[in-house]
């Protein structure tokens, strides 16, 4: 079969498979808005548990689909009775809270009442939350608890906030201007009032999700009911849940990745169990989930836990396990080549295919023995019933991807951004191309263009990733300039990511053209404010943060040699900077790699980062490397407007960065 015929055959097979799976799902294609889903779900799934919160304060909570629908309606009726009205009353409500069954009730209750919610974690910096409250034009606020209200209380008096709802049953404080109620008080009001249906369509804005901005001010992503409904009606191409399947929920429920996944899985009759970082390992074994949505750091944590157990085994058993993993690694490599699913060799020759099949047959008995002795026991750590793990929020490290394939836990990587609701691409279990971000969702287009000229590039060439589809946001709230920069006149959204596509249209990401750094725990870090803070140090001339898909931030630092020489003189030392930066031989000389210099820069980084406004633990800089070559226009590492060309620096110092993190 020729390459063109093979590619066309794959496209037809992809369309057939996706279509087949979507037809097998319940049909929500005629539903116009998210709130309509829950009446249908209540009718179809009735007494099946929808939300299960074993860690709720007080006692364990289980809510059936019938009860979920009723409580959403009641919450919405209570809001309407208190002035929520999209035409003439409160039409924007901030929801500042974290994972719980009541978060979901509030989220969908707000939408059912006809309002738009602006969501964020209660743990976010108070200045960030105050900005969101003001920018979103919120006139009401739903908060996690009394503590969160007290955190924001002083900031509310300068805002048009008329109503505050606590999601707990704590006694609501009395306010002269702002009406404050707890959850039960609102629900009692809702029980006494009839809900007025609100007409919403797919163009109606459903929610505002705020992303971090390089200026320190977040941008409000406007997602419509149509954006979210596209996800709900098309994620079935990736996974096909059955009624009663258990989903373990760990990610922040307000985050677009977790949130959209929850809408989808609950729309198809799954039971969502809430967990947390402290309880997740026990909950995996206790509740035996069929699905789990996570970021790379979660899968790394499970992997590291398994590796720890391996290391605790007797030396002879450790050696056997290492041997098994080595042989199984070769087995899955051969299997990938035989199935044309090896990213480095997508079109193997007949000889390579035959060789891979032979190697697979030869290694199969040992791999099967390892499965029986080791891998089946490893799967017990996930509960033993996992159908699929869905990973997003960053690339999955190769050794993690390999490990899960070896132990037969199917992990599918997806890709997208808050601005795309979020999923645009995902791997399929029947054609899981490791190392890629997967294939596009139905009705989704991708285009790779030159970073400078914006001309479309041929298949296989690396460039800027542009995206188009029904899941792309309406724009940034009250920020037309940013919207125009993000979405061109033809509807193409600039992802800010660099990548290429295979002949089958799998997206392979290679880096970021824009500044945002995504850590393996899914946290999005805007480097510029942190870099600006670090530049306050007299010893730092230039700095660029790195850490995409790493556990922590790292930094490349161009030191201020003049300031360092003065510091050294004050210590009665002489700064020795040699071309190869080797350690000086005399005790009176120090170089950039000496412990004293390294300690100095560590102290500077810690102080400046912690002292900056809005500091978060994820802002901490881990490994760093001092480099002598400044970023400049002459070496192409800066633009004409003296901005660091991050992708150029990343390529120039690729090996340095990898060694820096490997040594950490």
CATH number at residue 547: 3.30.300.30
User: Would you say residue 193 lies in a domain?
Assistant: yes
- Rounded to an integer, what distance in angstroms lies between the CA atom of residue 461 and that of residue 631? 27
pLDDT for the residue numbered 581: 44
User: Would you say residue 133 lies in a domain?
Assistant: yes
**pLDDT confidence of 4, banded at 50, 70, 90?**
low
- Structural domain of 172: 34-199+242-289
Average pLDDT in the 349-366 region? Answer: 97
User: Would you say residue 409 lies in a domain?
Assistant: no
- Rounded to an integer, what distance in angstroms lies between the CA atom of residue 52 and that of residue 61? 6
pLDDT for the residue numbered 165: 98
User: Would you say residue 294 lies in a domain?
Assistant: no
pLDDT for the residue numbered 25: 81
Place of tokens 């179809």: 44
Average pLDDT in the 61-76 region? Answer: 98
Boundary residue ending a domain (232, 264, 289): 289
Q: What is the arrangement of strands in the sheet containing 163-166, beginning at the earlier edge strand?
A: 179-181, 163-166, 140-143, 92-96, 116-120, 205-211, 219-224, 475-476
Concatenated DSSP letters for 187-226?
A: HHHHHTSPPPP----TTSEEEEEEEP-TTS--EEEEEEHH
pLDDT over threshold 90, residue 238: yes
C-alpha count within 13 angstroms, C-beta hemisphere, residue 212: 21
Helix (H) or strand (E) holding 423: strand 423-426
pLDDT for the residue numbered 587: 39
Boundary residue ending a domain (262, 289, 316): 289
pLDDT digits (tens, 9 = 90+) for 109-125: 999 999 999 999 999 88
pLDDT over threshold 60, residue 234: yes
Boundary residue ending a domain (250, 270, 289): 289
pLDDT over threshold 90, residue 95: yes
pLDDT over threshold 90, residue 467: yes
pLDDT digits (tens, 9 = 90+) for 182-197: 999 999 999 999 999 9
User: Would you say residue 440 lies in a domain?
Assistant: no
Tally of domains in the chain? 2
Answer with the residue of higher pLDDT: 647 or 162: 162
User: Would you say residue 427 lies in a domain?
Assistant: no
Residue 110, token pair as written in the block: 């707000």
pLDDT for the residue numbered 374: 97
User: Would you say residue 376 lies in a domain?
Assistant: no
CATH number at residue 140: 3.40.50.12780
pLDDT for the residue numbered 452: 83
pLDDT digits (tens, 9 = 90+) for 556-599: 999 999 889 889 888 888 888 765 443 333 335 778 889 999 99
Comparing 285-294, 371-380, 532-541, the range with the smallest average pLDDT is 532-541
pLDDT for the residue numbered 104: 98
User: Would you say residue 618 lies in a domain?
Assistant: yes
Helix (H) or strand (E) holding 575: strand 574-575
Concatenated DSSP letters for 118-164?
A: EEE-TTS-HHHHHHHHHHTT-SEEEESSHHHHHHHHHHHTTTT--EE
Q: Name the average pLDDT for the chain.
A: 92
- Rounded to an integer, what distance in angstroms lies between the CA atom of residue 395 and that of residue 435? 8
Average pLDDT in the 304-320 region? Answer: 91
pLDDT digits (tens, 9 = 90+) for 25-57: 888 989 999 999 999 999 999 999 999 999 998
């Amino acid at each position: 079969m020729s390459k063109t015929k093979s590619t066309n055959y794959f496209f037809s097979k992809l369309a057939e498979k996706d279509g087949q799976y979507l037809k097998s799902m319940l049909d929500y294609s005629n539903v116009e808005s998210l709130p309509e889903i829950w009446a249908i779900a209540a009718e179809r799934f009735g007494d099946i548990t929808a939300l299960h919160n074993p860690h709720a304060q007080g006692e364990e909570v289980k809510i059936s689909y019938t009860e979920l629908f009723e409580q959403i309606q009641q919450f919405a009726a209570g809001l309407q009775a208190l002035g929520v009205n999209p035409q003439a009353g409160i039409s924007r409500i901030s929801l500042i809270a974290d994972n719980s069954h009541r978060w979901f009730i509030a989220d969908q209750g707000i939408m059912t009442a006809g309002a738009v919610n602006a969501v964020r974690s209660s743990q976010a910096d108070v200045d960030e939350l105050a900005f969101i409250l003001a920018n979103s034009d919120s006139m009401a606020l739903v908060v996690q608890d009394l503590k969160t209200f007290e955190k924001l209380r002083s900031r509310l008096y300068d805002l048009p906030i008329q109503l505050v709802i606590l999601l707990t049953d704590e006694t609501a404080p009395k306010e002269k201007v702002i009406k404050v109620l707890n959850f039960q008080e609102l629900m009692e009001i809702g029980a006494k009032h009839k809900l007025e249906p609100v007409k919403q369509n797919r163009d109606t804005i459903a929610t505002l999700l705020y992303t971090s901005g390089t200026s320190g001010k977040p941008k409000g992503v406007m997602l419509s009911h149509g954006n979210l409904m596209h996800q709900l009606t098309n994620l079935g191409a990736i996974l096909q849940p059955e009624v009663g399947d258990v989903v373990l929920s760990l990610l922040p429920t307000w985050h677009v990745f977790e949130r959209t996944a929850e809408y989808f899985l609950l729309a198809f009759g799954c039971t969502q169990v809430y967990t947390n970082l402290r309880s997740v390992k026990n909950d995996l074994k206790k509740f035996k989930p069929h699905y789990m949505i996570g970021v790379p750091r979660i899968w790394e944590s499970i992997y590291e836990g398994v590796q720890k157990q391996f290391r605790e085994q007797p030396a002879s058993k450790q050696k056997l396990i290492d041997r098994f993993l080595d042989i199984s690694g070769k087995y899955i490599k051969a299997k990938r080549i035989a199935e044309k699913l090896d990213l480095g060799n997508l079109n193997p020759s007949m000889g390579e295919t035959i060789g891979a099949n032979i190697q697979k047959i030869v290694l199969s008995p040992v791999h099967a023995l390892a499965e029986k002795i080791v891998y089946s026991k490893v799967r017990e750590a996930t509960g033993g019933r996992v159908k699929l793990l869905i990973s997003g929020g960053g690339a999955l490290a190769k050794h993690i991807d390999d490990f899960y394939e070896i132990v037969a836990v199917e992990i599918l990587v997806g890709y997208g951004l808050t601005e795309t609701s979020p999923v645009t691409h995902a791997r399929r279990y029947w054609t899981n191309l490791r190392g890629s971000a997967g294939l596009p969702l139905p009705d989704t287009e991708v285009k790779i263009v030159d970073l400078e000229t914006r001309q479309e590039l041929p298949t296989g060439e690396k460039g800027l990733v542009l995206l188009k589809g029904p899941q792309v946001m309406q724009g940034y709230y009250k920020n037309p300039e940013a919207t125009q920069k993000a979405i061109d006149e033809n509807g193409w959204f600039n992802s800010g990511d660099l990548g290429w596509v295979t002949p089958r249209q799998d997206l392979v990401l290679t880096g970021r053209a824009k500044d945002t750094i995504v850590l393996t725990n899914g946290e999005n870090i805007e480097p510029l404010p942190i870099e600006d803070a670090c530049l306050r140090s007299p010893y730092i001339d230039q700095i660029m943060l790195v850490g995409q898909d790493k556990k922590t931030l790292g930094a490349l630092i161009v030191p201020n040699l003049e300031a360092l020489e003065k510091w050294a003189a004050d210590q009665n030392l002489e700064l020795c900077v040699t071309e190869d930066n080797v350690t000086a031989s005399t005790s009176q000389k120090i170089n950039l790699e000496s412990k004293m210099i390294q300690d100095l820069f560590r102290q500077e980084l810690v102080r400046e980062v912690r002292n900056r406004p809005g500091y978060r633990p994820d802002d901490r800089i881990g490994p760093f490397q001092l480099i002598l070559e400044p970023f400049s226009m002459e070496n192409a590492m800066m633009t004409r407007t003296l901005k660091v060309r991050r992708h150029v620096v990343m390529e120039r110092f690729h090996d340095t960065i990898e060694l820096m993190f490997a040594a950490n």
